[in-house]
Structure 1
Amino acid sequence: MTESPTLVCVGNLTVDEAVSPTGERVESVGGDALFAALAARVAGGHPVLLAPLGTDAPPALLAAIRLTGTDPESLPSRDLPLIRNVIRYDDVGGRVWELVRGEEHFEALSVSPADVPAEALTAAGVLLSAMALRPQLELAAWLRTRTAATIFFDPQEDYVAGHQAALTDAVRACDVFLPSEIEATALAGTADLEAAAAAFLDLGPRVVVVKRAEAGCLVATREHPVPVVVPTDVVAPVDSTGAGDAFCGAFAVEYLRSGDANAAARIGAATARIAVGGPGVSALLAAVDASSGVPR
């Protein structure tokens, strides 16, 4: 097998507290960039993590960053504490996020163009995970004119409403658009996912993947614009935090390697199933540590 192309996983690093419906609390390290980079490793890729590091990074987070293949000392630093989230789950699997230190702090701990090292611009792919809205949109536009990398764009459902025009510009700037079903319908203004995928392809991406959790995903490409349903095996999650980020990281690795969006979706789904098998990034850490791969 040829060496896997480099994927830069851009996003945030966090400490997350999950609260179960019974009130049980479990704290773990995480962040979309960490989930994506670990998933990329599980899928056999060569990720580079890019996310600002706060002043209070616990040893568990530093160890997890090293396991992705990135030296924490190489990351941009902020003279601020880390992002902290409280995620409250209900009895039917729904969840509500609380950003403990607020939106301004979240934005300050997101990646800006000044944080991007020159070598990142020579990578085969760049995955823009869901940071604060302004930095993510700024990076999408900035990268498009400075790199030939395949740009993967993963939005966040909390900021779609009221920002459709700006997000449409970001979709134009990416090569692979990876919204959830909620994000796709909100941005396209229709519950018809086939119509939504067609509208996104018309904006310029080569590939659109609509993530639908346990229902799998829809994959549409310029060559095959009618969406293909890629199913997934349903599992009972221990913690669903980061599943979408893990999907995107593994998807990006396989797509860069093979150019096959459907195969990439299968690898993404298989890696997401690993991710939900433990609290936080613990299941992905175990998979990387054991050199476990994704079934092909």
Structure 2
Amino acid sequence: MIPKLLFAGRLAREYILLPEGAPILDRPGGSPLYAAGAASIWDKDIAILARVGEDYPNQWLRQFTEHGISPEGIQIAPRALDLRSFRAYSKTLELSRSNPVGHFARRELTFPKALLGYRPPEEKELINSDPHPATPLVTEIPNDFLQAQALHIAPLEFKSQGQLLAAFRAASDKIITLDPSPRYMIPNRLQELRFILEGLTAFIPSEEELRALFWGETHDLWAMAEELGGFGCQLIIVKRGKEGQLIYDVDAKKRWELPAYSSRVADMTGAGDAFCGGFLAGYQQSEDPLRSAAYGNVSASLSMEGSGPFYPLGVLPGLAQARLEALIDLIQEV
């Protein structure tokens, strides 16, 4: 199968404490899955490129198929892999990803044995420079997947993202978008980003990541976008959470602002990934950066109203399209 939309990245087994309600214990998640789930609102023929261990539940892989997401690109390593991901949200939606014991204790909840010995993946990456064992390998990419029409690479190690880009660029011309890892969005890695951005369709960092990259140089987000645009990328999309997105078209030298669609927030997990998934689906259909950003914006709004990577697929028919048309009229050139 040659997928229309392909999402590469690391899957996760989620443990989440929301501001209210029962804890979420061991649910499928991860950036590529949230992106794929959001893209499924708009299109089909979607696949994931990832690695999991032999302990990954088979029923979850079947669940992906039931939601129209092919698991054919998910390689199963012949050993168990630690894919645990913990998040705790306060009543003001502040996020913590460490000290699960303390969070469960403060809420007077029984601590799950499955989280014993947990350490955030970010801490492990600081200690170990080798790729995470769940990072997809170039050598394991199915041949048909190299012909995918559009590819999104979720946050991974710098070297791993570069290797995936090289493999897909060599195979054929395609739409490629990339969400960077905050681990390498630091000032002394700025010039190295040329290897990532050259020929990229869209680079999609968060505002926090972009500011960290240009720390001590400028506070102007548009100036940051322009400098990165000089590295050979077509579009710079800045995710700004509740403030929406900034869109910079490098060749046209045009700037736009798109406000976030106002919606209730039940769970913020994966909202940025949902934006990336919606954007890729929109761009594959239209190659219109503004309409594509609106696709992503709507996808993020739907994702946050519920919980889990498949929640957007269960919303009322026509809701996504109605929000899309409302948002397009709100895009403003700066």
Give the TM-score band, short-chain normalised. Answer: 0.7 to 0.9
- Give runs of aligned pairs for residues 8-23 of structure 1, distance below 5 A: 8-20=6-18
> Which has the greater radius of gyration?
2
Distance 2:91 2:282 in 1: 35
Confirm or deny: 8 A CA contact 1:153 1:178 kept in the other structure. Answer: yes
2:288 to 257, 260, 273: 260
Report what 2:243 is aligned to: 215
1:141 Cα deviation from its structure 2 partner: 3.4
Give the whole-Å Cα distance in 2 for the aligned partners of 1:241 and 1:58.
Answer: 21
Q: For 1:206 and 1:272, locate their aligned partners in 2 and report how far apart those are by CA, in whole Å.
A: 22
TM-score, normalised via structure 2 length: 0.78
Q: Please, what is the CA RMSD of the aligned residues?
A: 2.5
2:206 is aligned to 180
Report what 2:182 is aligned to.
157
Equivalent positions of 1:243-254 (< 5 A) are: 243-254=271-282
* Equivalent residue, structure 2, for 1:77: 76
Match of 1:294 among 320, 326, 332: 320
Count the aligned residue pairs. 290
Change (3 A) 1:44 1:218: same
**2:220 is aligned with 1:192:** yes
Distance 2:268 2:59 in 1: 20
User: Within 5 A, what are the aligned runs for 1:120-135?
Assistant: 120-135=145-160
Query: Which is further off, 57-66 or 171-180?
Result: 57-66
Amino acid corresponding to residue 32 of structure 2 in structure 1 = A
Residues 251-281 of structure 1 show CA distances to partners (whole Å, capped at 9, x for unaligned) of 0111111111000111111011111122222
Per-residue deviation, 1:10: 0.6
Larger deviation: 95-104 or 148-157? Answer: 95-104
Which runs of 5 or more structure 1 residues have no equivalent in the other structure?
A: none
The answer as to 2:146 corresponding to 1:146 is: no
Alpha-carbon separation, structure 2, partners of 1:277 and 1:254 = 21
- Which of structure 1's runs of 4+ aligned residues deviate more than 6 A? 290-293
Where does residue 64 of structure 1 map in the other structure?
A: 63
Q: 1:159 to 1:228 in 2, by over 3 A?
A: same
Q: Which amino acid aligns with 1:37?
A: A
Q: 1:62 is matched by which residue type in structure 2?
A: L
C-alpha separation between the residues in 2 aligned to 1:155 and 1:140?
Answer: 13
Say if 2:148 is the partner of 1:136: no
Aligned partners of 1:57 and 1:82 also within 8 Å:
no
Mapped pair 1:110 → 2:109 = no
Alpha-carbon shift at residue 22 of structure 1 (Å): 7.0
8 Å CA contact 2:19–2:91 kept in 1: the answer is yes
* Alignment gaps of 5+ in structure 2: 99-118, 325-334
Is the counterpart of residue 167 in structure 1 residue 196 in structure 2? no
Q: How far is the alpha carbon of 1:71 from its aligned partner? A: 4.2
**Counterpart code for 1:150:** I
Under a length normalisation based on structure 1, what TM-score does the superposition of the two structures give?
0.87
